Amino acid sequence: MQRGEKANGAGQIVDATGHGIPVEAVLTLTDLTTATVLATETTATGHGNGHPNQQTTRCSGVLFEGPASDFPDSLPGVAPGDTVQLTIDALAVLQL
């Protein structure tokens, strides 16, 4: 779903009716060839205070894994043939 202004948007649930509204998420980009964490980014709705009375569900997965040369952004200092992986670990409020 497209996010609104100053919002984190929502993610569609695969094989079910509903969506998840992200509360917090950590994205991690790792060079698997050298076992080096290249970057991490953390986001939190309401500076960590968003949806305080809602039950959350942990969601995680691999968003990208492949050669650095196929990654959408340039990765300075990473060899083009290195395998990189972008993962997400998030808490979301499910709306079913």
* pLDDT at residue 1 in the model: 47
Give the model's pLDDT for residue 58: 92
The pLDDT value given to residue 75: 93
Cα-Cα-Cα-Cα dihedral of 55, 29, 62, 74, to 10°?
Answer: 130
Record the pTM: 0.78
Q: How do residues 22-44 score in pLDDT, each as one tens digit?
A: 888 999 999 999 999 999 999 88
Q: What does the block give as tokens for 78?
A: 């990473």
Please answer whether residues 24 and 43 qualify as being in contact, where contact means their C-beta atoms are separated by less than 8 angstroms.
yes
Residues of the chain with pLDDT under 50: 1
Q: Are strands 36-44 and 19-31 parallel, antiparallel or unpaired?
A: antiparallel
**How many Cβ atoms are within 10 Å of 67's Cβ, its own excluded?**
14
Q: 25: helix, coil or strand?
A: strand
Residue 22: Cβ within 10 Å count: 23
